[in-house]
Amino acid sequence: MRHNIRRKIRNILAATGIVALALAVAAPASAEAESELVGAPEHYVIENVHASGKVLEIGNDGAQATGPDAAWTAAAAIFARAETAADITAQAVVAYPVTGADRTYVFTNDAGEVLIRRANDDEYYRYLDLSSMTVDEAAADPYAQWKAVDAGNGAVYLQNVQRDKNGMTAALDMYNWKTDNGSEIQTYDAGTAAVQKWVMRSLTPVVDTFTARTESGVAPTLPTSATARYSWGLNQTLAPIEWQAIDETVWDADGTVVVNGTATGYFGEAVPVTAEYLVGSVGDARDTVLSSYVGVTLKELRMAAPKTVERTISGSDVTVTSPVAWDWSAVPTDATAREGTFTVPATGGTGFTANLVVTITAAEQVNILRTGGVHVAYTFKDGTTFALTDGVRNVTGFADWRSGGAANRVNPNSVSFYFDQPRQVTGAAVFDIAGKQNIGSVTVQYRDLIGGWVDLPASTTEWPYANTASDLSMTVDSEPVLASGMRVVFSNKTSDTWMTLSEIEVYGPAAAGK
């Protein structure tokens, strides 16, 4: 059944430029034009996971000798993926999906030779062979059918539908893990080894649909080029594009217009290209909402207000994003002093109507460090698990021991917290309970909006706070400040031992129940 003429035919095809893809001929001559047993074929280069860049070829006379006394040329072998369109086409596998069988194929080369496994009553049943049977005949023969089974990460196992003589599943296997060009491919008991994992890279490219918008009554200029992405990494510019003629009146009505075209791909094949236009005029913006709490400052609201809005397009549910500037000049200074709702319009220079609807709800005091969007840093910490924001005040959550004794203490030390967005701060607390009892002084600072550290304006405390007790238990109230972070700087009582902390808390308002 084996025919050793494939390479000569391939060379003739490549030399004359007559390749199946360029002629849009999907199947070799042995396949019927239309079949109920198989679907439309697809061309693949089938790459082995163990040997990146090496692909399976069917019927290449350069394959190694195999079988008893090396009497045969291997029906399938591994070769480096070709570099030219003609050579890639020549080494591609033609895969016919078997009707009614999920991800199951008949594999041929472009001469129509079918890849089969030898029968179970054959002494060499693990070996592959080539058959001159038709594709329809192969679709009824389990020895000629290969099922693609998911192997993860885009790879598949290619398993013969016919179980072997021992009842085992036979999978295409790069025998003996050999990667040299021409190394044989046979079957072996199905497993998970990389030599049985294959990536089926289609020769059909992916081309993204071009999308754009045009005003009603305005015919757009269609794209002059597109990019075809082939699955092994090649990108091919498609130019020129031949667009189908359409009735120019389609641009007069709101809605969607689809224009189809074709261009010539890497293999000389006709590649479909699509352009999709949304026809309609951009209108005003949908209302944008913002929620906060009683007592929030207008400065905080202005920083939190969205900088873009969604504008409607006539004749569709589609929106487009546009930049916006808000006019806060008419908002009363006490607008956030009570629960309720107020509206902030867009500035006159925005060019369209937009409204920011602000809802003010009840507030409650929270520990900001136990909310989201907080990130920690420190001058030095030992291997103690960081737990200064777990809500437990009497268990050490920070320590700064390091070798070297009194001469190598970290003094002063600091712990810093950075906020994803500025927060209003009204107080703080620092604790070292049941720890080393070696905190001598503490300074609490907030980070302003330009990144500078400023002492927290505490109501009754002067910085640095002197700790004369054994444990540290310090709580302070503050004038409200808008902070982008908080920092605690602390020094020891003595260098005889290191310092510990058990909890840090930072207080501020937030929406109740959030």
Identify whether residues 44 and 133 lie together within a single domain: yes
Using the 8-state DSSP alphabet, how is residue 32 labeled? -
Q: Are 127 and 188 in contact (CB under 8 A)?
A: no
Q: How much is the pLDDT for 34? A: 73
Identify whether residues 288 and 157 lie together within a single domain: no
Q: Is the pLDDT of residue 17 over 90?
A: no
SS3 state at 372: coil
Taking only the tens place, the pLDDT of each residue in 196-234 is 999 999 999 999 999 999 999 999 999 999 999 999 999
Q: 106 is written with which tokens?
A: 């008949």
* Whole-number Cα distances in Å, 25 to 110, 200, 230, 262: 11, 20, 19, 17
Identify whether residues 102 and 168 lie together within a single domain: yes
- Give dist(CA 284, CA 504) in Å, integer: 48
Phi, psi of 229 (to 5 degrees): -105, 115
Q: How much is the pLDDT for 35? A: 85
- Give dist(CA 483, CA 475) in Å, integer: 18
Residue 452 is part of a domain; what is its CATH number? Answer: 2.60.120.260
pLDDT category of residue 105 using cuts at 50, 70 and 90: very high
In a domain, 307, yes or no: yes
Burial 221-239 (b: 16+ CB within 10 A, else e): eebeebebebbeeeebebe
In a domain, 312, yes or no: yes
Within 408-493, where are the H helices?
Answer: none
Question: What is the percentage of the chain residues whose pLDDT exceeds 70?
Answer: 94
In a domain, 47, yes or no: yes
Residue 12, CB-side half-sphere exposure with 13 Å CA sphere: 7
| DSSP per-residue string spanning 383-397 | SSPP-TTSS-SSS--
Structural domain count of the chain: 4
Residue 425, CB-side half-sphere exposure with 13 Å CA sphere: 33
Identify whether residues 174 and 258 lie together within a single domain: no
In a domain, 1, yes or no: no
| DSSP bridge partners of 491 | 441
Q: Are 141 and 116 in contact (CB under 8 A)?
A: yes
Identify the domain boundary among 155, 182, 202. Answer: 202
In a domain, 123, yes or no: yes
Q: Which of 406, 374, 411 is nearest to 506 (CA)?
A: 374
Identify whether residues 192 and 80 lie together within a single domain: yes
Mean pLDDT, to the nearest integer, of 339-368? 97
Identify whether residues 388 and 482 lie together within a single domain: yes
Identify whether residues 259 and 307 lie together within a single domain: no
Tell me how crowded residue 249 is: count the other CB atoms within 10 A of its CB.
Answer: 9
Residue 42 is part of a domain; what is its CATH number? Answer: 2.80.10.50
Residue with tokens 């072998």: 77
Identify whether residues 322 and 223 lie together within a single domain: no
CA-based R_g, the chain, Å: 36
Greater pLDDT, 2 or 381: 381
Residue 252 is part of a domain; what is its CATH number? Answer: 2.60.40
Taking all residues of the chain, what is their mean pLDDT, rounded to a whole number? 93
Domain that holds residue 125: 6-202
Q: How much is the pLDDT for 5? A: 40
In a domain, 190, yes or no: yes
Mean pLDDT, to the nearest integer, of 378-398? 98
Identify the domain boundary among 220, 244, 279. Answer: 279
Identify whether residues 458 and 480 lie together within a single domain: yes
In a domain, 401, yes or no: yes
In a domain, 290, yes or no: yes
Taking only the tens place, the pLDDT of each residue in 267-315 is 999 999 999 999 999 999 999 999 999 999 999 999 999 999 999 999 8
Identify whether residues 41 and 65 lie together within a single domain: yes
Identify whether residues 46 and 151 lie together within a single domain: yes
Q: Is the pLDDT of residue 150 over 50?
A: yes
Identify whether residues 459 and 371 lie together within a single domain: yes
